[in-house]
Chain A
Amino acid sequence: MAIAAAEVSNIGEYLRQHQHKSLLRFITCGSVDDGKSTLIGRLLYDSRQIFEDQLAALEADSRRFGTQGDHFDFALLMDGLAAEREQGITIDVAYRFFATDRRKFIVADTPGHEQYTRNMVTGASTADLAVILIDARKGVLTQTCRHSYLAHLLGIRNLVLAVNKMDLVGYDRSIYDAIVAEYRAFASSSGIGAFVPIPVSGLAGDNITTRSSATPWYSGPTLMAHLETVQIDIDAAQRRPFRMPVQWVNRPNADFRGFCGLICNGIIRPGDPVRVLPSGRISTVARIVTQGGDLDAAAAGQSVTITLADDVDCSRGDVLSIANDPPEMADQFEAAIIWMADEELLPGRPYWLKLGTQTASATIYAPKYQINVNTLEHLAAKTLGLNAIGVANLSTDKPLVFEPYDKSRDLGGFILIDKISNSTVAAGLLHFALRRSQNVHWQALDIDRDAHARLKHQQPRLLWFTGLSGAGKSAIANLVQKKLYALGMHSFLLDGDNIRHGLNKDLGFTDADRVENIRRIGEVARLMTDAGLIVLTAFISPFRAERRMVRDMTPPGEFIEIYVETPLEIAEQRDVKGLYKKARAGELKHFTGIDSPYEAPEQPEIRVNTVGTTAEQAADAIVAYVLADAQLKDRIDPG
């Protein structure tokens, strides 16, 4: 940053002063062509953050790609990736940095077009303030409303309405006033509330860092002056009760056990009583350890290492809290969900949920509604697609320590991760815990699953047959059951068609319904294995994720995946039920192998190739496996 020599003549003094600046993180949002990138370029240029060599490159680029005639095209400075420069659009979040004498700023430049809502949500998740841009020639657009709503949803309470390109409307006050009035109506009806309007021109520099003589009718602050002085409630987090998600346990030797984490709320001092959640154990803070010596206190926003006076159990995923005011715990919630992946939400399918340092397996139920982010109307929805926002219930496989998002971004904001692709598919904001999860507890049973199995002299097993329609799953499963029966073993066969006549008759064949179908069957099969039975299931069960879900529901070793492998052409030739013919004729939609995928098992316990093996041979092999498996188990774990 080029600044006047006089300002830095006393460098020691300068450094002291500049070490005490605060930090403001903000986002800029607006529609395509509202001039966001130009505005940020202007802020950087006017705060003298653009170096000469970058300016030279900019001049060259402006001639090649520029859209601003003889002006510098500041937007070219922002659009970092080559593909974007050629298309003239910003396609991802870019972070920019500048500083004035009073503050340092981190700007998230977020793109305006519809398909990139996820980028805006990403930028807004860490921002203290949002600058909403409006093109003075176009006024309030649906995208303006969407961006404002998203900023508000993510918890940003400082909004600036920058009415841009005032130079192109002749600095006409009536145009500005009309836009502000229209936006005010929207803001009050949607719950957004207060905002600060400023008439600007990013290109010409009006009211960016210096007051413009072209808008004598405007008496408010320049954009920069507002950004420098706006009161950010950064102390709010310090005033709330202490919470620190434990990230890592530091054990250099047997005498030291330090709990590391980023404090998300409150202030902590040695001697303070704390509670470890979810266990609920209580201790007191012994030391706050840093390389530069122990601290007398630490506050929200600091990464610290805390030791406790007592030897209590505490590990990654636990939360340290002030003892007398701990956060809630629950395993069922209502949450707002922002879907960020091309593949849509499959209600019923488990995803990884990451909240602070806690990770759990979470199932999302069918959305209660989707929110039309342009009109804020609630729409009926069975699923959520890319960039959709909805409200849904979800349940987790273990209790989570949490706070509602509007109280704590760090203990209320979560991400969902696809278990197979590992991509981040959604962001979520916890609203509240569902009553029923607080009141419904597992009933401990006196006759447990082991007792049931002992009575039957067998090991419960779930023999999960999977394969294409017509592969021979039901035929083989039937034979296996007969053979088990002849050996005096207790089993039960759950067949796809039969289940669909009863328990699952409300489900169709969409991807979402297929997931729910398998989830219910998994739950029923689990109850039956709890009763000590050997359960056989014969369902196409085309998706790896659902087969994995059922495997995860059952105790280790109990789930036996049997892949009945038959090439599609053979299954289609057999076409026992005439279904392939119908599917080929377009009369049956979502038919596995035709217009719906089958994901073959990667490591099934048993693989049956029906070409070259008879059903009888296959059944014998499976029974032999079950018996050998049970004997092995008996040897390891007698009784």
Chain B
Amino acid sequence: MAALTHLERLEAESIHIVREVVAESEKPVMLYSVGKDSSVMLHLARKAFYPSAPPFPLLHVDTTWKFRAMYDMRDRMARDSGMQMIVYRNPEAVRRGINPFDHGSLHTDMWKTEGLKQALTQFGFDAAFGGARRDEEKSRAKERIFSFRSANHRWDPKSQRPELWHLYNVRKAKGESIRVFPISNWTELDVWQYIYLENIPVVPLYFAARRPTVERDGLLLMVDDERFPLRPGEVPVERSVRFRTLGCYPLTGAIESTAATLPDVIREMLLATSSERQGRAIDHDQSASMEQRKQQGYF
């Protein structure tokens, strides 16, 4: 037989990881954030357990501020996969009407960090899959594939368990949980190549189209619904844009692009000169901000 390609090796490793968690944990869940990395992770999970459906639910920690196209995709994937889709919104954030326009970093803290912790605690999940990759950001490059969290969901980068060969130690005390990153070793290009090869559905926002946008604080933001408060003098302008990553629409910068197909997107990415998290407002505060967030329980 021919030697395996890098994508075949990555796929086999990811499937092995997902199965290992199911075999050794009590109540796993897959964090589904609707983006391309989640799409690949879900696709791998479905392959891992075919012809069964993956034996765990999906969890979407919602902020109510995602792009409308993301909600459409989420509902479609819930139908197609035959898996339970749990949607969780932090009730405190709902009550206080937390939003990215008025509340700054509190928006991410309450909806995402706190929301995730609450959901994991409330449902008693002891293992949660996430779609993070080591090439995204410096502190992720050093995080294990199986990453332990204390009972209050904190990450301690100094006491990570060594991971040797294909052996993962999944044992934990009551109350502790693990975050598992099956696509840790994939790069952005690997993800797109795999989506192309396997014909995996992704949110259309990754492809260029004319969309209403305003330029604000160096980011090109899409006016996705009527909740977007325009500042005096701001008028949404139709631009041909697409997104490299997807999050809350008021926090996710678009790039001007005409890449309307998957090969065009990959071509544009190959020519790109800035890394993909650049479009995200939350990483820029301080150079170590992601690490701080993770220690506090951000995924």
A303-B165 contact, Cβ under 8 Å, with A8-B267, A247-B23:
no
B141-A422 in contact (CB<8A): no
- Return A422 CB to nearest CB of chain B, in Å: 4
A354-B167 in contact (CB<8A): yes
Of the candidates A7, A106, A299, which one forms a contact with B1 in the assembled complex, judged by CB atoms under 8 Å apart?
Answer: A299
Q: Which residues of B contact A104 (CB under 8 A)?
A: 6
Q: Which residues of A contact B138 (CB under 8 A)?
A: 77, 79-81
B171-A422 in contact (CB<8A): yes
A91: nearest chain-B partner, CB-CB: B158
Of the candidates B7, B52, B135, B184, which one forms a contact with A252 in the assembled complex, judged by CB atoms under 8 Å apart?
Answer: B52
Stretch at the interface among B63-71, B93-101, B270-278: B270-278
Taking the complex as formed, is A454 at the interface, i.e. its CB lies under 8 A from any CB of chain B? no
A342: nearest chain-B partner, CB-CB: B159
Q: Which of A416-454 contact B (CB under 8 A)?
A: 417, 422-424, 427
Q: Which residues of B contact A221 (CB under 8 A)?
A: none
B12-A303 in contact (CB<8A): yes
B23-A248 in contact (CB<8A): yes
A291: nearest chain-B partner, CB-CB: B50
B51-A267 in contact (CB<8A): no
Q: What number of B residues sit within 8 Å (CB to CB) of A? A: 69
Taking the complex as formed, is B121 at the interface, i.e. its CB lies under 8 A from any CB of chain A? no
Of the candidates A2, A11, A118, A258, which one forms a contact with B272 in the assembled complex, judged by CB atoms under 8 Å apart?
Answer: A2
A417-B171 in contact (CB<8A): yes
Taking the complex as formed, is A121 at the interface, i.e. its CB lies under 8 A from any CB of chain B? yes
Q: How far is the CA of A242 from the CA of B33 in the complex (A)?
A: 39
- Return A247 CB to nearest CB of chain B, in Å: 5
Taking the complex as formed, is A234 at the interface, i.e. its CB lies under 8 A from any CB of chain B? yes
A340-B271 in contact (CB<8A): no
Q: Which residues of B contact A248 (CB under 8 A)?
A: 19, 22-23
Q: Which residues of A contact B275 (CB under 8 A)?
A: 51, 53-54
Q: Which residues of A contact B169 (CB under 8 A)?
A: 354, 415, 417, 422-424
B164-A415 in contact (CB<8A): yes
B51-A125 in contact (CB<8A): no
Taking the complex as formed, is B126 at the interface, i.e. its CB lies under 8 A from any CB of chain A? no
What string of 1s and 0s marks CB contacts (under 8 Å) between A13-41 and chain B? 01100111111000000000000000000
Q: How far is the CA of A51 from the CA of B138 in the complex (A)?
A: 13
> Which residue, of B16, B158, B165, B287, has the highest number of chain A Cβ atoms within 10 A?
B165
Q: Which of B2-20 contact A (CB under 8 A)?
A: 3-13, 15-16, 19-20
Q: How far is the CA of A20 from the CA of B7 in the complex (A)?
A: 8
What string of 1s and 0s marks CB contacts (under 8 Å) between B21-36 and chain A? 0110000000000000
- Return A111 CB to nearest CB of chain B, in Å: 11
Q: How far is the CA of A121 from the CA of B165 in the complex (A)?
A: 10
Of the candidates A60, A125, A247, which one forms a contact with B16 in the assembled complex, judged by CB atoms under 8 Å apart?
Answer: A247
- Return B298 CB to nearest CB of chain A, in Å: 15
Taking the complex as formed, is B187 at the interface, i.e. its CB lies under 8 A from any CB of chain A? yes
B51-A256 in contact (CB<8A): yes
Taking the complex as formed, is B291 at the interface, i.e. its CB lies under 8 A from any CB of chain A? yes
- Return A173 CB to nearest CB of chain B, in Å: 37
A413-B287 contact, Cβ under 8 Å, with A22-B5, A299-B1:
no
Jot down 16 A-B pairs with beta carbons below 8 A, ordered by A: A19-B197, A51-B278, A60-B287, A61-B287, A92-B160, A97-B134, A122-B163, A247-B20, A248-B22, A256-B51, A260-B19, A302-B12, A354-B169, A410-B165, A422-B172, A424-B169
Q: Which 8 A-B pairs have the closest CB atoms?
A: A80-B138, A82-B288, A303-B15, A23-B6, A51-B275, A125-B164, A291-B50, A252-B52
User: What would 16 more interface pairs be, CB under 8 Å, given A252-B52, A256-B51?
Assistant: A2-B272, A3-B271, A12-B263, A18-B193, A21-B5, A80-B140, A85-B288, A97-B185, A125-B165, A250-B52, A258-B51, A354-B167, A415-B164, A422-B169, A422-B171, A424-B161
On B, residues with C-beta under 8 Å from A are: 1, 3-13, 15-16, 19-20, 22-23, 46-52, 134-135, 138-142, 157-167, 169, 171-173, 184-185, 187, 189, 193, 196-197, 263-264, 266-267, 270-275, 278, 287-288, 291-292
On A, residues with C-beta under 8 Å from B are: 1-3, 5, 7-8, 11-12, 14-15, 18-23, 51-54, 57, 60-61, 77, 79-83, 85, 91-97, 99, 104, 106, 118-119, 121-122, 125-126, 234-235, 238, 247-248, 250-252, 256, 258, 260-262, 267, 289-291, 297, 299, 301-303, 305, 316, 340, 352, 354-357, 409-410, 413-415, 417, 422-424, 427
